[in-house]
Amino acid sequence: MPPTFRWAIPFFTLLLCAARAGSEPPAPAPEEPEVPRAILVTQRELTAQLQIFLDQKLFSPGMIDGNPGRFVSEALKRWQRANGFPETGVLDESVPLHTIHPVYTFHKIAEYELRFVGELPTKPSEQAKKKRLPYSSYTEFLAERYHCSIEFLQRLNAKVKFSTLKTGDEVRVPNVEPFKIEDAPETGNYPERPEFAARRIVVDRRRTILEVYDGEKLIASAPIAPGSPAHPTPPGKWRVVGVASMPTFRWDKGVLERGVRTDVFHMLPAGPNNPVGVAWIGLSKAGIGIHGTNNPYSIGNWASHGCMRTANWDIARISKMVTRNVAVEIR
């Protein structure tokens, strides 16, 4: 259910006073302090600000798009729980939106970023011939970097023609910690982090939400796409067996359609448009993991074959918050 917004906007009444009758001039009015003009905001602007706030606090609302929805409410509930407030999912005075300043910032296009954009074939057989699976456009690169939908990015920059952007141009973007794909480690496992031994992951399949705890303290959450009815995400208690950056993917039509491994497959290279995204958290349940995606619009839907996928910017953060042997409970 979308959150109910409580937003008090001051209105001022202008009092008109008649001049006194008679020849005596009226007494000069005392000077009054200047009152700042009220700023009226739309629900879309307010929702975007709340989404940016939650994202900054590691309670991901999913794709920033200015649209109120279930994931905004779920993220707000978890932020409220983590901070000792009633878990209502309602925006009220306890949420310090004023701390988000500025709400938007600017990204200056750098020459090196263009190496992450390139031709992206649609067929797995052609993708397997590539050295990497890049972003298909610079717009896709920017939207993922700043955790937002392409449509929202274009609304923020209504006068910008993205197809003609060049080095040095600036684009308005949400003020979130950017997902810097250039900082992602090359294909391989993350080092173990013993200091994370007390952490755990809890996955709620019905609400399609993943939570990260440090002991009993909730420290982060993100929306996911769980397995489908035909290939459900298995409930139970498991453990993380490894965390890998920039994984490759064995594309096997038999596995994807029938859950049967065949000898006809394609090994797809790493990259942001790899089907499992930019990171893989393997579980002690064989073949099951938590991973990124090449389609952030699929989050929240049954889109996986038993695994749990989340947006690349979310899996990039989560993969740095856990380590081998961390407990995972799937409910």
Q: What is the CATH number of the domain that holds 172?
A: 3.10.350.10
Residue span of the structural domain in which 132 resides: 104-183
Integer Cα distance of 51 and 68 in angstroms? 9
Q: Where residue 15 falls among pLDDT bands split at 50, 70, 90?
A: very low
Q: What is the distance between the terminal CA atoms of the chain, rounded to a whole angstrom?
A: 21
Domain match, 213 and 281 both: yes
Integer Cα distance of 212 and 217 in angstroms? 9
pLDDT of residue 228: 82
Residues 6+ apart with CB under 8 A from 230: 259
pLDDT of residue 184: 92
pLDDT above 50 for 26: no
pLDDT above 70 for 179: yes
pLDDT above 70 for 33: no
Q: In 57-208, at which residue ranges do the beta strands (DSSP E only) sit?
A: 104-108, 170-174, 188-189, 199-204
pLDDT of residue 260: 77
Q: Tell me if 14 is assigned to some domain.
A: no
pLDDT of residue 303: 66
pLDDT above 60 for 19: no
Q: Which amino acid is present at 20?
A: R
Portion of the chain with pLDDT greater than 70, in percent: 86
- Over range 281-291, report the average pLDDT: 96
Lowest mean per-residue pLDDT among 34-43, 75-84, 87-96, 188-197: 34-43
Among 126, 111, 59, smallest CA distance to 273 is for 126
pLDDT of residue 252: 85
Integer Cα distance of 215 and 43 in angstroms? 37
Contact 185, 247 (CB under 8 A): no
Domain match, 211 and 237 both: yes
Domain match, 326 and 194 both: yes
Q: Please name the residue that has the structure tokens 């700023």.
A: 39
Contact 179, 320 (CB under 8 A): no
Q: Tell me if 55 is assigned to some domain.
A: yes
Q: Which of 166, 183, 200 is the last residue of a domain?
A: 183
Q: Tell me if 21 is assigned to some domain.
A: no
pLDDT of residue 91: 95
* Cβ atoms within 10 Å, residue 274: 24
Domain match, 95 and 115 both: no
Number of H helices and number of E strands within the chain?
7, 13
Q: Which of 183, 216, 240 is the last residue of a domain?
A: 183
Tell me the pLDDT of the chain averaged across its residues: 88
Q: Tell me if 151 is assigned to some domain.
A: yes
pLDDT of residue 11: 25
- Over range 250-270, report the average pLDDT: 83
Could you tell me the CA-to-CA distances from 234 to 209, 247, 298 in Å, in that order?
Answer: 15, 22, 20
DSSP structure string for 71-109: HHHHHHHHHHHHTTS-----B-TTS-GGG--SSEEEEE-
Could you tell me the CA-to-CA distances from 259 to 163, 255, 262, 285 in Å, in that order?
Answer: 41, 4, 10, 15
User: Would the pTM of this model clear 0.75, i.e. be above it?
Assistant: yes
Domain match, 59 and 109 both: no
Domain match, 288 and 159 both: no
Domain match, 270 and 177 both: no
- Over range 305-325, report the average pLDDT: 96
pLDDT of residue 254: 75
- Over range 9-36, report the average pLDDT: 38
Integer Cα distance of 128 and 122 in angstroms? 11
DSSP character at residue 135 = B
Q: Please give the torsion angle defined by the CA atoms of residues 173, 291, 75 and 238, in that order, rounded to the nearest 10 degrees.
A: -160
Integer Cα distance of 326 and 153 in angstroms? 36
Domain match, 262 and 282 both: yes
Domain match, 166 and 247 both: no
pLDDT of residue 266: 94
Q: Six-digit token pair at 244?
A: 């890998």
pLDDT above 90 for 326: yes
Domain match, 93 and 179 both: no
Domain count, the chain: 3
Q: Tell me if 298 is assigned to some domain.
A: yes
pLDDT above 60 for 5: no
Domain match, 228 and 314 both: yes
Query: Residue 229: which CATH number?
Result: 2.40.440.10
pLDDT above 60 for 47: yes
pLDDT of residue 25: 45
Among 274, 298, 41, 307, smallest CA distance to 149 is for 298
- Quote the radius of gyration of the chain (alpha carbons, Å): 24
Q: Which of 58, 83, 99 is the last residue of a domain?
A: 99
Q: What is the pLDDT of residues 120-132, one digit of tens each?
A: 999 999 999 999 9
Q: Tell me if 11 is assigned to some domain.
A: no
Q: Tell me if 308 is assigned to some domain.
A: yes
- Over range 106-124, report the average pLDDT: 96
Q: Tell me if 154 is assigned to some domain.
A: yes
Domain match, 47 and 83 both: yes
